[in-house]
Chains A and B, each alone.
Chain A
C-alpha cells in the first residue's frame, strides 16, 4: 500500500517516488472494434495535484477516466488509483466522480439528490446536513434546495452533479467537464475551490474543453487520438511551445505530432488512421 501521509513537494511536475502517485496508468489501451480510443497512455498524477486532461472531442479523455473508474473494461495496460489496481469496488468510497452527462435524478429535489449520494457514500448521518449546506453554498444552489432537479437550468443541474460528486469529501476526484455551462464568475470560484481542495491534499483529475481555463491546473496533459501529446505545468508548456497562450501551445503540439505521425505512417504503412480516430468514443 502506498503511504499517503508521506509529504511530497507539491506537484508542479517534479519527479517523486512512485508510491506517491495517486493515479498511474501504464500502456493503457481501449479499443472499440477497430478503433483505438485510448492508445498506450502513460499517466502519473501525484497526491495533491490538480491535473487537467485536455483535448478535442473524442481524444480519449472520458474513456481514460471511465477505465480508471472500472466503468469500461481495459483492453491493455493497467490503471492504479491510490495504489490499487482498478477496477476495485472497495475503493469507490474514496473516489468522487462527476460524469460528463448531468447525472442527477430529475424527478428528485436538489436536496433529495444530495441526500441520496450522501447515503450511497455512507456520509456519517450527523455530518450530512452540514455537508449538504456547504456544497449548496459552493455551487450557489442554496435557494434551490427544494426545487425539482429537472426544473433547474442546464448549468445549475451541472453544478448539482458536481456537488453530488463531492458529497463524501473524496480523496480523489474525477471530474469530467465540471465547468461546462457554468457562468464565468462561478467558474472562477469553482477553480479556486478545486485549488483549495488540492492544497488540503486532495487529488483532482478533470477534463475540460476550455483550454485557457486549464492555467489553474498544476499539471496539464494534452491528449489527441488517444495519446498524450505533452504533459507539463501550463507555464512550462507555453515556454516549450514558445507561445503566449495555452491554446496556441496546444495547436503547436498538435501540429508537431501530426508531422511525426505522418512520418511514422510513411515508414510503416500499418496501424490505424490517426486523423479519423475518435469521434465515436463519447
Chain B
C-alpha cells in the first residue's frame, strides 16, 4: 500500500464532496438540523398535554387532638385544591370543568388543536376520606391508656392505641404468602377478609380501615384519571404528573398546618436517588447528541459511498483505477480516510451546536472524551463506508440505492438505542440490536460523554467495531478485486 496513492484518493473524494455544494451542505446541515429539531421540539419530555380537571371535592374538617388532654384543634381543608395547585402547569395544560360526563366525551372525541387527553376527577368525598383517616390516626395516637382508647372506639394492642382493629394481614408483602395465610390480596396489599363491606355499619367500616360516605362503606376515595391511552408516552406523563401532585399536596398540607404535623405518618422507607456517575442532571438532549452524531455519520457515509461507487462504475472510472497500479486496498483505505474527515467534521458541527444551543454535558476532561468520541465515530464510519461499497454492488443506479434506506437505515435507527432504549425493544428483537454496529458506537460515545468512561472501559465496544470494520474492509476489497 502506497501512502501517496491512498492520500490522492482521499483528496479526490474530499474535493468532489466540496465541489458538490448540495452534498456538502447535506453533510453538514443534516446533523445540525436534526440536532436543533430534536433539541428544541422533542426534548424527550412531553409538554402542554391538554387535560380537563373536574374537582368535585368539598371542604372537610379534621379534628385532631390539641396540645393538652381533651382539647381539640379543627382544621378545614380541601385536598382537591391542593392537588389542583400541585399539578405541573408545564407538562399539563389544564382546563377545569364541572361536567364529568361531558369532559369524558371531550376526551373521547376531541382532535388536533382541541385534543384533550385526560379527565382528572377528584370526587366530592376526597377530603373527607383524608380527614377521617388523619383524625382516626391522630386521635388514636393521642390515647395513652387502654381504657380511654377502647372507650373512644379504638383498639388497644401491642402496648399502644391503634386506629384500626388488629390484623395479621399487613405483614405479608408477597401475594403468595398472603394467600397462603388465608388472606386476600388486592390493591397491591394483603387484606384480612372481613366479609362483605356492604353489610357493615358505619362504625364497623371505620374500625376496619375503610371509609363511610354516601351511605356505603368504601375502600377509599378514588382520584380517577380517565385517559385516552392511545399514546403511552402521554399516558405515562399524565399519570406521573398526578402522582407528583398528590405527593406535593400532602407534603404541603402537613407543612402548612402545624396541628397536623405531629401526626404525619412518615414512612420508614424512603426513596433516594444515588447516581453511579455524575449524571443527575442529564437531560434527553445530552443522551441524544451522541446518538445523532453516530447516526448522521452512518447515514451520510453509507449513502454517499453507495452513490459514489455507483457513479465510479457507471462512468468507468472504477475500471480505470483497476487498470492502474492502484490496489483495491489503497482505494478502500483512501475512501475510508476521506469519510473519517467527514465524520469528524459532522461530529464537530453537532458538538458545537449541542454545546452552544443546548449546553450538552460532556464529562471532564472534555478534550479526552471528545477524542474518544471522534475515534469511535471514525471506526464506525470506516466500517459503514466499506459496507456502502459492498451494497453498491447490489444497486444498478441511484434509484435502487435509495431502497437501501429502509433496509439498513431504519432498522438501525429503531434498534440501536438512539431514540428508544434497547430495554424497550421486545426481547426476541434485542439480538438484532446487538449485531447492529451503531448500537456499540452510540453506547460508547454516550458512556464517554456522560458517564465519563475512558478507553479502558470501552474496549468491548471498540473491539466490536474493529471486528465489524475488518470484516467489511476485507469484504469491500474482495468485492473490488472481483472480475467478470
Binding site for B on A (CB under 8 A): 32, 66, 69-73, 89-90, 92-93, 95, 97, 99-108, 112, 115-117, 119-122, 148, 164
A103 & B5 in contact (Cβ 8 Å cutoff):
no
Are A103 and B317 closer than 8 Å at their CB atoms?
A: yes
Distance to closest chain B CB from A160 (angstroms)? 12
How far is B388's CA from A12's CA once the two chains are assembled, in angstroms?
Answer: 50
Q: Which of A93, A112, A164 contacts B15 (CB 8 A)?
A: A112
Q: Contact size class for B?
A: 20 to 34
> Contacts A89-B325, A116-B8 hold; do A71 and B317 have CB atoms under 8 A apart?
no
Contact call B15/A92, Cβ cutoff below 8 A:
no
* Minimum CB distance partner of A95 in chain B: B323
Bound form: Cα–Cα A95–B4 in Å: 19
Residue pair A70, B12 in contact (C-beta under 8 Å)? no
In the bound complex, do residue B317 and residue A104 qualify as a contact, i.e. CB atoms below 8 Å apart?
A: yes
The residue of chain A having its C-beta at the shortest distance from the C-beta of B2 within the complex is A122
Mark interface residues in B379-396 (1 if CB within 8 Å of A CB, else 0).
Answer: 000000000000000000
**Neighbouring A residues of B272 by C-beta, 8 Å:** none
Which chain A residues border B15 with CB–CB below 8 Å?
Answer: 107-108, 112
Return chain B residues, CB-CB under 8 Å to A92: 323-325
**CA of A149 to CA of B20 in the docked complex: distance in angstroms?**
13
Residue in B20, B315, B326, B484 whose CB lies within 8 Å of A120: B326
- 24 A-B residue contacts at CB 8 Å? A69-B323, A70-B323, A71-B322, A73-B483, A73-B484, A89-B325, A90-B325, A92-B323, A92-B325, A97-B320, A97-B324, A100-B316, A101-B316, A102-B315, A105-B315, A105-B317, A106-B315, A107-B20, A108-B12, A108-B16, A115-B8, A120-B5, A120-B325, A120-B326
In the complex, whether B321 has a CB less than 8 A from a CB of chain A is yes
What 17 additional pairs, Cβ within 8 angstroms, besides A104-B317, A105-B12?
Answer: A66-B319, A70-B483, A71-B322, A71-B483, A73-B483, A73-B484, A89-B327, A92-B323, A97-B323, A97-B324, A103-B317, A112-B15, A116-B9, A116-B12, A120-B5, A122-B2, A122-B5
CB-based contact B316/A99 at 8 Å = yes
| 0 or 1 for each of B4-21: is its CB under 8 Å from A? (1 = yes) | 110111011001100110
Interchain nearest-CB distance for B358 vs A (Å) = 35
B17, closest chain A residue (CB):
A107
A130 to B8, CA, bound (A): 19
In the complex, what residues of A have CB within 8 A of residue B16's CB? 105, 107-108
- A164 vs B5: C-alpha distance in the bound complex, in angstroms? 15
Report the Cα distance A115→B15, complex, angstroms.
Answer: 12
Where the two chains meet, the residues of B that have a C-beta atom closer than 8 Å to any C-beta of A are: 2, 4-5, 7-9, 11-12, 15-16, 19-20, 315-317, 319-327, 483-484
Chain B residue numbers with a CB within 8 Å of A90 are: 325
Query: Which residues does chain A contribute within 8 Å of B321, judged by CB atoms?
Result: 120
In the bound complex, do residue B317 and residue A121 qualify as a contact, i.e. CB atoms below 8 Å apart?
Answer: no
Q: Is the CB of B4 within 8 A of A72?
A: no
Least CB distance, A62 to chain B, in whole angstroms: 11
**Smallest CB separation, A129 vs chain B (Å):** 16
With A89-B327, A92-B323, A120-B326: A103-B12 Cβ-Cβ less than 8 Å? no
Q: Contacts A89-B325, A120-B321, A120-B325 hold; do A107 and B19 have CB atoms under 8 A apart?
A: yes
Minimum CB–CB distance from B213 to chain A (whole Å) comes to 80
Pair A72/B484 contact, Cβ less than 8 Å? yes
Q: Which residues of B contact A108 (CB under 8 A)?
A: 12, 15-16, 19
Complexed CA–CA distance, A144 and B331 (Å): 28
Q: Tell me, in angstroms, the Cα distance from A13 to B12 when the chains sit together.
A: 43
Nearest B residue to A165 via CB reads: B320
Q: How far is the CA of A71 from the CA of B320 in the complex (A)?
A: 9
Q: For the complex formed, measure the closest distance between the CB of B15 and the CB atoms of chain A, giving whole angstroms.
A: 6
Residues of A within 8 A of B9 (CB): 116
Give, as a whole number of angstroms, the nearest-CB distance from A189 to chain B.
24
CB distance from A103 to the nearest CB of B (A): 4
CA distance A107 to B16 in the complex (A): 5
Closest chain A residue, CB of each to CB of B327: A89
* Chain B hits for A164, CB < 8 A: 320
Bound complex: CA A89 to CA B327 (Å): 8
